[in-house]
Amino acid sequence: MLRLLHLLLILCCFFQASSPSADAPYETFNVKYREIAPSVLRDTIGVVTINADFSWENGYSVKDVELKAYDKVAGSFVVSETISLQKQTVALSSFGYSGIGSYRFPMTEEEGDYCRIVIDPKNDRRIWINNQIQAKNLENGVEKIHFDALKNLVAVDLFIFTDSGKKKLYAEPSRESSFVVIDSKKHAFLLAAEVKNGFVRLVSEEAINLQSEDGKENPTPQTLGWARIRDNEGLLTLWIVGGPNC
């Protein structure tokens, strides 16, 4: 099942630029940009994706997940409650057939196997979870991606936290560098290759298909430019989405 999910994630990149359809997995955003509490975008350091188990029997369906929430008391973590992932949380985005299956939450803190996630981006409600314990109960597990360590061509949406649908891409990882402006009409998503000085180096989605003349994979896809990960106020400006290696 895990290998099947990874295959689906790779295949999904070919559908991201088009409208969502019932026969392809896609990313859906569950909270509008202006409804997200600024403190969430300021404090978020990564994304936690909880991959719920799913079935194709009698049509595509996703099983609910019991999410164990912890309180931090005197330096230790104690289970405070068990909540329904589907009924008592609002993932900032979710991915899969019908736009559900993998649920993505902003991560604001980490401590050992524990991480703090935002389960209500509008009201900035946060809980601690143990990602290792939580992953044991799920066939496809729990994944964490840090914004200060983006690499391996993980897919990102540069435009979801903008009103204009436009973003600057700099020639170098510096605000003093020259830049061009791109928009969401041309790039539904881009692929993050590395992070430097608060910028992420990006290549186009076509990079996964690049081949040299002899038919071998091209190990150095062309860089489109560097984008800032945070704006002048320290607010996050991009998000992880469905695509290769995510």
DSSP code at position 112: T
Mean pLDDT of 115-122: 98
Q: What is the CA radius of gyration of the chain?
A: 18
3-state secondary structure of 43: helix
Per-residue pLDDT reduced to its tens digit, 190-209:
999 999 999 999 998 765 55
Q: Which residues of 155-194 are buried (b: 16+ CB within 10 A; e: fewer)?
A: bbbbbbbbeeeebebbeebeeeeebeebebeebbbbbbbb
Instruction: Return the closest-CA partner of residue 82 out of 95, 100, 64.
Output: 64
Q: Give the model confidence (pLDDT) of 51-89 as tens digits.
A: 999 888 888 889 999 999 999 998 899 999 999 999 999
Q: Look at 214 and 90; give whichever has higher pLDDT.
A: 90
**Residue keyed to tokens 């190990």:** 219
Provide the 3-class DSSP secondary structure of residue 57: coil
Distance between CA atoms of 95 and 6, rounded to whole angstroms?
12
